[in-house]
Chains A and B, each alone.
Chain A
């Protein structure tokens, strides 16, 4: 039983750790990026927006494969030696969810209208400060968007397998650990891990509903 707990602890730390970092990055850069796309007028804006929208539906396994070729030793970014490290997982997760976050917050900005944004801009705010102002005004909606992104990251399997290599204690996440133990025929620990992952996801779902309520009450 102790070995099980040890494994659950290890996997929990890695899953939540990488997820927290990639969500933080999405949170920090996502809003300024969305504001940039929303406010700036540039040629072919609609085309670029449509492109971003289509990235929403990129299968994680394809993204993983693409990054694999970039990150491996003789790839373009091979000198960073990131493949099979948590860093590779974080990059993959970030790229997987940033289109989702941008799409959700773009929608939010549209309903917020430009008037408020122009007000803040007139005070001399840059994109990051503006992002923070938007967050303060629409906290529940943005947190809800972060949660949607988080659940996509936590349930992602194939990309984590390709980029992380499922190395014990380094890149073994909930999903990849469950696959491994099922393949090995060790169903007890697989079920335990599945249960913990389910509880975390259910917790996120609960938070999501909570934030949504807050959002509509405003």
Chain B
């Protein structure tokens, strides 16, 4: 095996890629285990689909329901929570809501006042969460006020910024790119209902014998090591925010 380099394919969501976290964490892993991590950043929905097709070794996703299904159907082995952050509601600076502290009421007001809302519309974890929230609020914006981009988080935020519209985003992507999203501000944050849990799921070695299960487990250990967990805690300070909470206290 001289000269052959091990490759680990990580199927992940756009948010961890867009905020720059993986670029900071993965080189250390690659160096330590003499391997190369190929990151495929797509929405969580697509990550599950690619995982089911055997296109990857391990998933880093944030959609609890989909994760449970993925494991129950035998595609993944186990869910390892590695970190969490939160979703926030952002929108144009001039908007004021009557009830600022109740997300459900805010959502209803968005519909009633026909304020524009930009949705990921791409089956990602963020998109699924947004749909759950509309369901909880029992309303959904009219088609003409509801823009589906079908793209990643940062592209969607750019559309919101241009169109003067609201959007649900993870805090990391938003604060990381705030300098180019100058027309947007945070309306709602720190809600219990908006916690966003990221987990690693190695694909099942029984189902996909070619998957590199050993290396996938090493990546889990690496993410949960105190070195990386401490780094996750400090990540974002450059932009004046803590983006993620590590899973191991």
Contact = CB atoms under 8 A, between A and B. Distances in A.
Interface stretch (A17-25, A121-129, A177-185, A206-214): A177-185
A165 B50 CA distance: 24
Given A166-B149, A167-B149, A168-B121, A184 B49 contact: yes
B42 A84 contact: no
Contacts, number: 54
Contacts of A180: 122, 150-151
Nearest to B43: A184
Interface stretch (B31-39, B61-69, B71-79, B158-166): B158-166
A74 B182 CA distance: 10
Q: Tell me if B's interface is mostly helix, strand, loop or mixed.
A: mixed
Nearest to A176: B150
Interface residues of B, number: 24
A185 B163 CA distance: 28
B172 interface: no
Contacts of A102: none
Nearest to B143: A169
A166 B151 contact: yes
Contacts of B49: 184-185
Interface in A146-187: 161, 165-170, 172, 176, 180, 183-185
A67 interface: no
A139 interface: no
A137 B95 CA distance: 59
Interface string B195-230: 000000000000000000000000000000000000
A83 to B, nearest CB: 5
Contact of B161 (A73, A167, A168, A185): A73
B183 A185 contact: no
Given A180-B122, A184-B45, A184-B46, A165 B159 contact: yes
B46 A73 contact: no
19 contacts: A81-B162, A84-B159, A84-B163, A161-B151, A165-B155, A165-B162, A166-B150, A168-B121, A168-B147, A168-B148, A168-B149, A172-B150, A180-B150, A183-B46, A183-B122, A184-B43, A184-B45, A185-B49, A185-B53
Interface of B: 42-43, 45-46, 49-50, 53, 121-123, 143, 147-151, 155, 158-159, 161-163, 182-183
Given A170-B147, A184-B42, 18 more contacts: A72-B162, A161-B151, A165-B158, A165-B159, A167-B148, A167-B149, A168-B149, A168-B150, A176-B150, A180-B151, A183-B42, A183-B46, A184-B43, A184-B45, A184-B122, A184-B123, A184-B150, A185-B46
